[in-house]
Amino acid sequence: MTQIRASGLSKSFGGSPVLSGIDLALPAGAFLALLGPSGCGKTTLLRLIAGLELADAGTLQLGDRTVAGPAVHVPPEARALGMVFQSYALWPNMTVAGNVDFALQSRLPGPPRRARTAEMLQAVGLGHLADRRPHELSGGQRQRVALARALAPSPQLLLLDEPLANLDAHLRHRMLAEFRRLHTATGTTFILVTHDQDEAMAVATHIAVMDGGRIAQMGTPETLYRRPATPMVARFIGHGATLPVEVLAHDAGRCRIRLGNGRLELPGRAAPGPGWLCLHREDLRLAQGSGHLRAEVLSHSFQNGTWLTHVLPRDAELDLLSLSLPEPLSLGAEIGIDIVQGWVIEETAAAPAPLPEAAHA
Ligand SMILES: Nc1ncnc2c1ncn2[C@@H]1O[C@H](COP(=O)(O)OP(=O)(O)OP(=O)(O)O)[C@@H](O)[C@H]1O
């Protein structure tokens, strides 16, 4: 079943467009990350889905119910969804159990409500802290109370707006694992807003990359990584780089391209003409000879067992590239790089036109 279907959703603030014709179809039980740079409209889209904002145009269906559209606006409390914000928004004067219990008050009578509260606190590993107040908890524990409270009424949809932004890297990692576990255990559809692509890749079954108020591409993490549709998606996902190339021929999912003075054949989807070659670290090797590209070693650092090496191609038009190497190279050395994999797209597969400046203020 499709849990969420948005069609042509648009929203402006003070005359500045913030969302422009969002189309989205998400299956029930998915974990969607809304990913994109600051100001691209992620939170606004989440708030439209929640019913906290009114759309200017377009329709939104949750399950088989239209909740937003011409002359239709179902209020947030009638949309069967839970929400978790960066600020946690816990009641400071209530205990941990009281916060969860409160979310169930209009739904369950006393004894089953207390049982459900205890069950949810167990589920997030906080059973032993039920009598504490929020100020007596760590950031990660508060975030778990917020999660238990949002999931207690068994929502069909859980909306998470940058919920990990206030946590340190270690806790973020643990909470991401917790999200994955709760997502699997509850079967609830999750939507997470984040500007951190590593966070999105770590948990999501689907990622929608947003750019200037539009969805530039939506797909599985693997699709976005291996087959980006636009140069912006290629650079945003997996620390990718893009190089301008000339596409000479295209046949059966492969493109023959000219890069500098060399020619090579790689997977891609581009008609002959100007194009982009999208690359990740693992697509590049240190060449024995001059390779496909010549580059100067700019910097390196030892990370995760290899030398992450940044190089600047000799051709001034080209972006910085990164390689993982077993040994460090001398800074300033000129090296050859072989391109062993990659993905070719057309130059016209451009990101959506940027919104007026005011929309990014
Ligand atoms: N209530 C509002 N009134 C006026 N402008 C708004 C309002 N809410 C959001 N905006 C503007 O809409 C644009 C998109 O905001 P939004 O919060 O959706 O972006 P975002 O992608 O979630 O950004 P971030 O990652 O920085 O939170 C921004 O330029 C923002 O200033």
CA of 53 to the centre of ligand 1 (A): 12
Look up the pTM and report it: 0.86
Rg over CA atoms, the chain = 24
For position 359, what pLDDT does the model report?
Answer: 36
For position 350, what pLDDT does the model report?
Answer: 54
For position 84, what pLDDT does the model report?
Answer: 87
Class of domain 2-223: alpha beta
Nearest-CA neighbor of 20 among 228, 216, 207, 231? Answer: 216
Pocket of ligand 1 (CB under 6 A): 13-14, 18, 36, 38-44, 195, 359-361
CA of 54 to the centre of ligand 1 (A): 14
Q: Going by CA atoms, what residue is nearest to atom 1 of ligand 1? A: 13
Q: Going by CA atoms, what residue is nearest to atom 12 of ligand 1? A: 18
Q: Going by CA atoms, what residue is nearest to atom 3 of ligand 1? A: 13
Q: Going by CA atoms, what residue is nearest to atom 11 of ligand 1? A: 359
Closest ligand 1 atom to Cα of 195: 25
**What are the domain boundaries of the chain?**
2-223, 239-346
The residue type of 277 is L
For position 260, what pLDDT does the model report?
Answer: 74
Closest ligand 1 atom to Cα of 361: 29
For position 360, what pLDDT does the model report?
Answer: 36
Q: Going by CA atoms, what residue is nearest to atom 6 of ligand 1? A: 13
CA of 166 to the centre of ligand 1 (A): 19
Low-confidence ranges of the chain (pLDDT < 50): 351-361
Closest ligand 1 atom to Cα of 45: 18
| 3-class secondary-structure state, position 19 | strand
- 239-346 CATH: 2.40.50.140
Output the 3-class SS for 289-344. Answer: CCECEEEEEEEEEEECCEEEEEEEECCCCCCCEEEEECCCCCCCCEEEEEECCCEE
- With a CB cutoff of 8 Å and minimum separation 6, the contacts of 115 are none
Distance, CA of 245 to CA of 260 (rounded, Å): 8
CA of 351 to the centre of ligand 1 (A): 19
Distance, CA of 203 to CA of 177 (rounded, Å): 8
Distance, CA of 84 to CA of 136 (rounded, Å): 20
Query: Is 131 within 8 Å of 96 (Cβ atoms)?
Result: yes
CA of 44 to the centre of ligand 1 (A): 6
CA of 113 to the centre of ligand 1 (A): 37
60 conformational bin, left if phi > 0, alpha if psi -120 to 50, beta if neither: beta
pLDDT, one tens digit per residue, over 238-283 is: 889 999 999 999 999 999 999 877 899 999 999 999 999 999 999 9
CA distances in angstroms from 136 to 175, 254, 261, listed in the order given: 19, 59, 65
Nearest-CA neighbor of 336 among 298, 297, 308? Answer: 297
Q: Where are the beta strands (DSSP E) in 99-211?
A: 157-161, 189-194, 206-211
For position 358, what pLDDT does the model report?
Answer: 38
**For tokens 């409270």, what's the residue?**
149
CA of 39 to the centre of ligand 1 (A): 5
CA of 38 to the centre of ligand 1 (A): 8
